[in-house]
């Protein structure tokens, strides 16, 4: 093709490189690399990634590294490919280095690292490696694996630190391992000589709240000796709502409303709690207080990775490709979810606009735009992965569950605190976040 002076396009080049990878054809791959550079076609992302993979598979890590370093945008996908190449060459430390430098990590990436470490029969047995592994497993709801890794760490006589315990207690919380979590918490000071900090108390509040042991959870807040933050109070409040414990719920709500720094997600949670009890004056009072105190109105921003590119959305965003189809899909879903019993929580939206507008304001929260964009631009059944800078609001959480059910997709949303895996009308957080 090239010899006949037919200009190859990126698509053709990627296809050729794919077969080079399969056959470990280093020579041909390098030839293609040279031709692409000469042709002025420019190394686009997919070509670059294929070359990184090929060089890794063929054991020339320097070339893979050079290619990787030359890439303008090193996102999750690129880093994951690079990590794979490092492992292919048996360079565990280099793989971990790339991994540690990553901003966000997804499940594919974690799997790559764990597999790579196992494959290379090596595990850099120091506390920070263990910590990042345990923390990552916990974040993805792999509780048992995280706890197992923790006990292996102790067996190997690696001394845990405070971060280790945040990870393993988080794992206990996500996995509902109440007794084990309690034991591990107590062991911190007694066995390991580490004084629990706010995060550790937060984990215990989480663990107990999740299973409905709300009095004990509230006691833990008292034991802490420092003020609880909204990160701790919000999940407890939603637990009170789920377990219908109004007594504790009101105490928590009071603490939360006295809190001076509270973001818009927490604010919605609080008004929602009062609204669910029918206490409108409280809800209004909360809002007034927030307005006077100036709540942190961090603009909601969501991102989604589609075809190796990251797309970002703000609430009510109108400036992106596929706008018409995205909004049309959003409208359809708003309509369909109502049949599934979805009621927009217009009460918690703004008070000074009418109901229809409130519904509209909720409906264009950035993550919904990101999800709908994902729906219209990927093939059926593709898992959608969305990142969000603030806590998911009540309303979007309910909506996402139904979207996952109706479209039969898995939707993974990473918000400020955790991962939510939405599937078939349910969320991995069990409505506790």
Beta carbon of residue 362, minimum distance to Zn ion (angstroms, whole number): 6
Residue closer to Zn ion, measured from CB, 329 or 420: 420
Residue 177 is classified by DSSP as -
Tell me the C-alpha to C-alpha distance, in Å, between residue 396 and each of 194, 318, 370, 411, 422. Answer: 39, 19, 12, 12, 12
Run of H or E residues at 147: helix 143-155
Q: Does 396 bind Zn ion (CB under 5 A)?
A: yes
Residue closer to Zn ion, measured from CB, 169 or 393: 393
Q: Does 363 bind Zn ion (CB under 5 A)?
A: no
In this chain, which stretch among 106-114, 183-191, 317-325, 361-369 interacts with Zn ion, using CB under 5 A? Answer: 361-369
Residue closer to Zn ion, measured from CB, 126 or 426: 426
Residue closer to Zn ion, measured from CB, 128 or 424: 424
**How many residues bind Zn ion, per CB under 5 A?**
6
Beta carbon of residue 416, minimum distance to Zn ion (angstroms, whole number): 13
Beta carbon of residue 337, minimum distance to Zn ion (angstroms, whole number): 14
> Please, are residues 316 and 364 in contact by the beta-carbon 8 Å criterion?
yes
Beta carbon of residue 247, minimum distance to Zn ion (angstroms, whole number): 25
Using DSSP bridges, classify how beta strands 309-314 and 384-388 pair: parallel, antiparallel or unpaired.
unpaired
Q: How far apart are CA 402 and CA 398, in angstroms?
A: 7
Residue closer to Zn ion, measured from CB, 80 or 302: 302
> Please, are residues 390 and 408 in contact by the beta-carbon 8 Å criterion?
no
- The residue from 210, 365, 391, 409 that contacts Zn ion (CB under 5 A) is 365
Q: Does 402 bind Zn ion (CB under 5 A)?
A: no
Q: How far apart are CA 426 and CA 410, in angstroms?
A: 10
C-alpha dihedral sign at 213, 165, 413, 409 = negative
- Taking alpha carbons only, the member of 206, 209, 172 closest to residue 187 is 172
Q: Burial, 312: exposed, middle or buried (Cβ in 10 Å; 0-12, 13-18, 19+)? A: middle
Q: Does 420 bind Zn ion (CB under 5 A)?
A: yes
Beta carbon of residue 190, minimum distance to Zn ion (angstroms, whole number): 34
Residue closer to Zn ion, measured from CB, 13 or 207: 207
Q: Does 427 bind Zn ion (CB under 5 A)?
A: yes
Q: Does 429 bind Zn ion (CB under 5 A)?
A: yes
Beta carbon of residue 231, minimum distance to Zn ion (angstroms, whole number): 15
Contacts of 385 (CB under 8 A, 6+ apart): 106, 304, 305, 412, 414
Contact characters 376-395, Zn ion, x per CB under 5 A: -----------------x--
Q: Does 239 bind Zn ion (CB under 5 A)?
A: no
Q: How far apart are CA 202 and CA 360, in angstroms?
A: 35
Residue closer to Zn ion, measured from CB, 33 or 173: 173
Q: Burial, 104: exposed, middle or buried (Cβ in 10 Å; 0-12, 13-18, 19+)? A: middle
In this chain, which stretch among 180-188, 223-231, 277-285, 419-427 interacts with Zn ion, using CB under 5 A? Answer: 419-427
Contacts with Zn ion, residue ranges (CB under 5 A): 365, 393, 396, 420, 427, 429
């Amino acid at each position: 093709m090239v010899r006949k002076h037919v200009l190859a396009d990126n698509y053709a080049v990627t296809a050729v490189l794919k077969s080079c990878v399969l056959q470990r054809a280093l020579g041909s791959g390098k030839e293609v690399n040279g031709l692409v550079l000469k042709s002025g076609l420019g190394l686009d992302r997919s070509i670059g990634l294929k070359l990184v993979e090929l060089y890794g598979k063929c054991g020339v890590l320097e070339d893979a590294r050079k290619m990787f370093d030359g890439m303008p945008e090193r996102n999750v996908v690129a880093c994951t490919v690079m990590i794979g190449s490092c492992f292919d060459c048996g360079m565990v430390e280099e793989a971990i280095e790339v991994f540690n430098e990553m901003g966000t990590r997804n499940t594919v990436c974690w799997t790559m690292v764990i597999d790579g470490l196992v494959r290379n029969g090596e595990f850099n047995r120091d506390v920070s490696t263990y910590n990042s592994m345990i923390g990552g497993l916990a974040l993805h709801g792999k509780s048992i694996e995280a706890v197992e890794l923790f006990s292996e760490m102790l067996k190997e006589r690696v001394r845990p630190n405070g971060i280790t315990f945040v990870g393993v207690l988080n794992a206990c919380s996500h996995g509902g391992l109440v007794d084990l979590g309690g034991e591990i918490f107590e062991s911190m000071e007694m066995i390991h000589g580490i004084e629990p900090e706010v995060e550790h108390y937060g984990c215990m509040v989480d663990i107990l709240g999740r299973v409905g042991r709300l009095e004990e959870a509230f006691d833990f807040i008292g034991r802490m000796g420092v003020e609880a933050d909204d990160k701790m109070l919000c999940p407890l409040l939603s637990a009170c709502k789920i377990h219908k414990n109004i007594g504790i719920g009101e105490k928590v709500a009071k603490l939360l409303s006295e809190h001076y720094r509270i973001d818009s997600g927490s604010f919605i949670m609080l008004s929602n709690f009062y609204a669910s009890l029918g206490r409108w004056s409280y809800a209004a009072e909360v809002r007034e207080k927030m307005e006077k105190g100036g709540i942190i109105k961090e603009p909601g921003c969501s991102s989604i990775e589609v075809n190796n590119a990251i797309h970002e959305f703000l609430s009510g965003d109108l400036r992106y490709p596929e706008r018409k189809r995205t909004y049309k899909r959003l409208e359809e879903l708003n309509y369909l979810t109502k049949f599934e019993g979805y009621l927009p929580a217009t009460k918690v939206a703004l008070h000074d606009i009418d109901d229809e507008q409130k519904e509209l304001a909720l409906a264009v929260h950035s993550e919904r735009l990101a999800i709908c964009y994902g729906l219209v631009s990927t093939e059926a059944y593709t898992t959608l992965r969305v990142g969000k800078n603030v806590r998911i609001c009540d309303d979007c959480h309910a909506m996402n569950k139904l979207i996952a059910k109706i479209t039969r997709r898995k939707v993974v949303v990473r918000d400020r605190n955790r991962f939510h895996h939405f599937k078939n009308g349910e969320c991995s957080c069990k409505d506790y976040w």
